[in-house]
Chain A
Amino acid sequence: MNTTSFKCCGLRRALIYTLVFGLLWVLPADADELIMVRVHSAFPETMTTLQEVIRKQDYTVSRIQRVDVGLTKTGYQTAEYRVVFFGKPREIKDLPSRYPELTTYLPLKITIFAEQGETLLMALNPILLGDFFPQPELKKTFAVWEKAVRDIFDRVRTEEEGSAK
């Protein structure tokens, strides 16, 4: 075997390895699938601000699920942990008629929990719903929801950090 063919074999082997490992190794979920933000304020203040900001963004808070209360009552220890449901009345009324399965993801929700004197806010990126419900006309709705969630998170963080100064 001459040097050129040896190099060729090496390259081919490298290429095969790259292909095989490339197929075996799928990258983990993209960071964009969950929207998360940390707020340097305690839970009660952040919870109040979150509800105010949702309303300022023209959304309705329909309910708050007190997960921590349920857990504590059944004997488990937990930090404050709530789920805030919100949406637009018109969308809650209209979307289920056209897209019944989308109802399972409505109203939208934000999970909020305490972490050592700070608070974490988290939501499924609504844009991801486009993978589940590929109807082209829904794309715009999901984009609007994504922007709303990001705006809500930014505003909560800004308002809380502003009030702490």
Chain B
Amino acid sequence: MTKKYTKEHEWIEQHGAHWRIGITEYAQEQLGDVVMVDLPAIGRNVSAGEECMAIESVKAASDIYSPIAGAIVAINETLLDNPALVNEDPENSGWLFDLEANATDNLETLMDAASYQSFVEELQ
């Protein structure tokens, strides 16, 4: 399963038995310097499209939506001390949280890398 992308600029990718979620390079560029990452509680159940955490830049908070329904099984604790990792490496080591999926139907509606690329180009 390859990486999929949302219109809200999150990415989702299979990670072992779970799904890993983060924000895209374009999103971190738009947010600017990340100063605090407010990660979700482990064990929390979220529905697809639910606002479940926030990323704080100097000036504003940006909500992050879960691309699919499931339970939060892990968070990237490195970000608690080093929130700037979201800027430096958003699509790898700057990941946000892992989900155990309830349903993956929603993945069908998300963009692949090529579609996301054109989506972003249209925004610029």
Whether chain B is bound by chain A comes out as: no
